[in-house]
Amino acid sequence: MNTTLRQLIVNADDYGYSAEVSRGILECHLNGIVTSTSVMINMPAAEQAVASALENAPKLGLGLHLNLVTGKPLSPQDRIPDLVDGDGRFLSRDHLLVKLGAIPVEQILIEFEAQYAAFQRMVGHDPDHIDSHHHISYLHPNAARAMLNLLEDKPMPIRNPLKRWDEDVEGFLAKRLPELYADQVVEWSLALPRLLEDIPSPKRFVDRFYAGQTILGDLLNVLMDTKDGVSELMCHP
């Protein structure tokens, strides 16, 4: 009899976003099915959250949630002028997306490197995976190239939301990018998977367990729909 192996990573995003979010994630790991989390290392609550995970949840996988849209950057503002507003905070997601095509890869990479170094200092080792807040590193070739440059000598898996179980890449981008880029969506939908194809990642990405779809019935449907190989279920406790 042929059998297939189905494996599921349950990853909680936004660890360190706030003390409350971090406590919720730890609770869902210690008493639930969360197996790993992604740390927003630039947020003020991140350091205490990491310390709590290291002390109380040694089996919780810790990844880096690359962030360009929430809070303050870790790089000097004069090195990333196109990523910040007049108060030195990251641009809003919508504002950043409008500008993203004109932001140099080098500026994005500078901030990604600063966040990676901060993770190493706080956690004491490399992250066990990489992903990004609001999927920002997967929405434009410039951001994807910055992420790839960051990982050039750091072999580790990434989340790949382009492998959504129920949607092609063109549809994924069309829903998330401003109208400004409408005529480039098809081109990017072909380019982005090629950029990421050599980086290890789960076979499928599932983001259905989100917002109003976070009841037990929805979770059971997700579990029943998983296929052979490794799938990642994104959640936000």
Could you write out the three-class secondary structure of the chain? CCCCCEEEEEEEEEECCCHHHHHHHHHHHHCCCCCEEEECCCCCCHHHHHHHHHHHCCCCEEEEEECCCCCCCCCCHHHCHHHECCCCCECCHHHHHHHHHHCCHHHHHHHHHHHHHHHHHHHCCCCCCEEEHHHHHHCCHHHHHHHHHHCCCCCCCECCHHHECCCCHHHHHHHHCCHHHHHHHHHHHHHHHHHHCCCCCCCEEECCCCCCCCCHHHHHHHHHHCCCEEEEEEECC
Residue 127, pLDDT score: 97
Instruction: Work out the average pLDDT over 50-68.
Output: 97
Instruction: Work out the average pLDDT over 56-83.
Output: 97
pLDDT category at 77 given cuts 50, 70, 90 is very high
Residue 209, pLDDT score: 76
pLDDT category at 44 given cuts 50, 70, 90 is very high
Residue 116, pLDDT score: 98
Instruction: Work out the average pLDDT over 44-52.
Output: 97
Residue 26, pLDDT score: 98
Residue 180 CB partners (closer than 8 Å, separation 6+): 98, 101
Handedness of CA 204, 199, 84, 170 (dihedral sign): negative
pTM: 0.91
User: Is 56's pLDDT higher than 60?
Assistant: yes
Residue 219, pLDDT score: 85
Residue 207, pLDDT score: 82
pLDDT digits (tens, 9 = 90+) for 144-192: 999 999 999 888 999 988 887 666 888 888 888 888 888 999 999 988 8
Instruction: Work out the average pLDDT over 74-90.
Output: 96
